[in-house]
Amino acid sequence: MLRSARCAPCNKRAVAVAILDHEMGLRSAFDIGAHFILYKPVSPERARSSFRAARALMKKERRRNVRVSVRIAVEMSGRDSKAQLKVNTTDIGEGGLAVTLPKRTKPHGRWQLSFTLPGTTTALELGAEFAWEGTGAQVGLRFTEHSREVARQLREWLSRNSPEVEKDDPPLQCQLTDLSLGGCYLEIASPFPVSSRVTLSMSAAGVEVRVEGVVRVMYPDQGMGVEFTQRTPEHRAMLEKFLTVLTENRQILPELLVEPEGLESEPTETSEKSLPVSDEDDALLKLFREQSGLTADSFLAELRRQRGLTAAGAVSA
CATH entry 2.40.10.220 includes domain 68-161: yes
* Model confidence pLDDT, tens digit, residues 251-280: 888 899 998 887 775 444 433 444 454 545
Backbone dihedral angles phi then psi of residue 55, each to the nearest 5 degrees = -65, -45
pLDDT > 70: percent of the chain: 85
Residue 231 and residue 276 in contact, taking contact as beta carbons nearer than 8 Å: yes
Tell me the C-alpha distance between 138 and 176, whole Å. 48
Mean pLDDT, residues 156-170 taken together: 76
Residue 315 and residue 246 in contact, taking contact as beta carbons nearer than 8 Å: yes
Tell me the C-alpha distance between 230 and 208, whole Å. 16
Average confidence score pLDDT of the chain? 81
pLDDT class of 163 with cuts at 50, 70, 90: low
Sorted by where each begins, the domain ranges of the chain are 2-65, 68-161, 172-316
Residue 62 and residue 37 in contact, taking contact as beta carbons nearer than 8 Å: no
Residue 109 and residue 127 in contact, taking contact as beta carbons nearer than 8 Å: no
Q: Is the peptide bond before 102 cis (omega within 30 degrees of 0)?
A: no
Q: Does 172-316 match 68-161 at the fold level?
A: yes
Output the CA angle 156-53-159, nearest 5 degrees: 15
Fold of 172-316: Thrombin, subunit H (2.40.10)
* Model confidence pLDDT, tens digit, residues 119-160: 999 999 999 998 888 777 888 998 988 887 898 899 889 888
